[in-house]
Amino acid sequence: MRIIIPDDYQNAVHRLLCFTKLAGHEVTIFTDTIKDVDALAERLHLAEALVLIRERTAITAALLDRLPNLKLISQTGKGINHIDVAACTTHGVAVAVGTGSPYGPAELTWALVLAAARRLPQETANLRAGQWQSTVGTLLRGKTLGIWGYGKIGSLVAGYGRAFGMNVLIWGREGSLERAQADGFSLADNQEQFLEQSDVLSLHVRLTKETRGMVTEVDLAHMKPDSILVNTSRAELIVPGALETALRAGRPGMAAVDVYEEEPVLGANHPLLKLENTVCTPHLGYVEQDSYELYFGQAFDQLLAFMAGNPVNVINPEVL
């Protein structure tokens, strides 16, 4: 089977232990990302199966029109906002979706919290430039950690905050609040109180039509001037441009982000990278060895099951 894996930024897939599952198949891996439909169609034209790395490549109706050989999309992870599933069904393309793991994103979130609180990127850069102790960091113990969205990742981060001696405050939908209360965490009375009391505020909300742009410039203005906003979920949860404006205005005092509206961000071409009060990483939340073995192992198993005539995890079974 002709299999194409796009967007392998680190050229890591062929080094995974699970890659041996594809032995005997014609596998092509691309390490760059292209967005142009014409260029994508030319690159993917011969593919019978695509293994997608999260949401890096959008599968649209216009692209599917140009992929006559495609039979299967095997998705790493469970996000499908980038796939036009209805168009896949129309074109007879099965879409198989795996599961996710909360541990990598949760640990990366906490790394960003620590890095921002102690100004680690700034101090590292200054030390390399010949300077010594140019900032004063912030202690986390005794401060309030706000968790917006108490799901699998948010609950882990809340636990990390508790272990660091922080007061954990939860806000979100009714289900989030019920789960958090059952786990013994405090709930905010309302959103404004939540924003005003959080010394560190971490977003852990799934991106949907309802949550897109749920954090506004007005919301951010309620935060403390020495607070930290952390976003390892999705950039689109915040109104475009609102975070940059808020950081320049001084509320919050700092942001640590791992996600951007358009990815990859190349050439340092993003306004957050031009601000001194930011810690920015290139969407590393799930990018670690164990997660990759899990995600790609599942994606390859889905592909092999499909080829064997026993498809699994297909979300549009009507095409089978």
Catalytic residues: 234, 263, 283
Q: Tokens in use for 229?
A: 């906003």
The token pair at 260 is 């951007």
What is the rounded distance in angstroms from the CA atom of residue 299 to the CA atom of residue 148?
30
Q: Are strands 200-203 and 186-187 parallel, antiparallel or unpaired?
A: unpaired
Q: DSSP secondary structure string, 257-293?
A: E---SSSS--TT-SGGGG-TTEEE-SS-TT-SHHHHH
Q: Which helix (H) or strand (E) holds 90?
A: helix 85-90
Residue 26 CA from chain centroid, whole number: 30
Q: Which residues contact 84 (CB under 8 A, 6 or more apart)?
A: 59, 60, 61, 64
75 SS3 class: strand
Neighbours of 72 (CB within 10 A): 23
